[in-house]
Amino acid sequence: MKVLVTELYNEAGQQMLKDKGVEVTLAYGKSHDELVAMVPEYDALIVRAATPVQKDFIDAGKNLKSIGMAGIGLNHIDVEYAKSKGIKVLNVPDGSTTAVSELAVGMILTTLRKIPKANKDVKNGTWEKTAYPGNEIKGKTIGICSLGKIGFRVAEILLAFGAKEILTYDPYLKQEIADKIGAKILPLEEVLKQADIVTIHTPLTPETKHMIGKDQIALMKDGSYLFNLGRGGIVEETALYEALKSGKLKGAGVDVMEVEPPKSSPLFELDNFTVTPHIGAGTEEAQIYISESLARQTLEALGL
């Protein structure tokens, strides 16, 4: 059996596949066309967020028994089409809850305290103690879209920091989950109006694309903060730029962008904008767990 791996996949999972006699091909950095040309020979595919697997790819994968996402989000995979061809679609829904939620809190702290700018300035020879007035999490109203596994963990950590309350927009959330941490479920507009810090942990779907645009940001409190660690395309980037530039938003941070990698963005000119290159799941712990879980699921799909 042969497995085609298109993006960085931890050695722990690779070894589990090899131990069962599976041939593992690491095809990192290949173009879409190169991968489509390779895939007919393979029995299983393992990808991450940067490999779209749409109809042409699936049609080419004539021997595929499974498509594995070494992560959570399946927005880049045509799941229904794969299933209609009898191909199993695998992912690891609990693999990066800790990694992403800790990055989210790190990004919130970093942005509220202007750490990236202060760090850059000091290294460039400036020591200016009054140039970075910050804000605290303690006492703040937090808006979380959505209160799934990651959003829930972010809420728990922020409550431990002394946040005043958690408001959530999540139309599919069970009340008993919100009740566990005393979160209030509200319409999106209310969350945006009332929160000092809004953080997005929503899947990208047709419903959530550009869920936060100019009109939604206009509802937010003057001087509030916005974070997106869900998917690029949920927050409309031109609207975010305008809001940061005008000071409507005091700061923002994202781990995901609408086009990844971005060629350039006006957002990069702004000191009150923090960005990381989709590294939410990028801890050793998460990657080992994800690779092992996906290896187990792939072996099962291959009947090994």
Ligand X SMILES: O=C(O)CC[C@@H](O)C(=O)O
**Residue 150: φ, ψ to 5°:** -75, -50
Q: Which residues contact 84 (CB under 8 A, 6 or more apart)?
A: none
Say how many C-beta atoms besides its own lie within 10 A of residue 277's C-beta.
11
Q: How far is the CB of 177 from ligand NAD (least distance, A)?
A: 8
Residues 137-156 that bind ligand NAD (CB under 6 A): 145-151
CB 137 within 8 A of CB 158: yes
Contacting residue, 13, 61, 68, 71, with ligand X by CB under 6 A: 71
- Find the part of the chain contacting ligand NAD (CB under 6 A) among 29-37, 124-132, 202-210, 239-247: 202-210
Contacting residue, 155, 229, 235, 239, with ligand NAD by CB under 6 A: 229
Contacting residue, 280, 289, 293, 294, with ligand X by CB under 6 A: 280
Site membership for ligand X, residue 272 (CB under 6 A) = no
Contacting residue, 10, 14, 96, 135, with ligand X by CB under 6 A: 96
260 is catalytic: yes
Q: Looking at beta carbons only, is 149 or 221 nearer to ligand X?
A: 149
Site membership for ligand NAD, residue 203 (CB under 6 A) = yes
**Of 231, 236, 237, 258, which one is the catalytic site residue?**
231
278 is catalytic: yes
Cα torsion through 253, 258, 264, 267, rounded to 10: -30
Q: How far is the CB of 14 from ligand NAD (least distance, A)?
A: 21
Cα torsion through 36, 37, 39, 40, rounded to 10: 120
End-to-end CA distance of the chain: 9
Site membership for ligand NAD, residue 233 (CB under 6 A) = no
CB 167 within 8 A of CB 190: yes
Helices (H), 64-208: 79-84, 97-112, 115-123, 149-160, 175-180, 188-194
The residues of the shown chain that bind ligand X, judged by CB under 6 A, are 48-49, 71-73, 96, 280-281
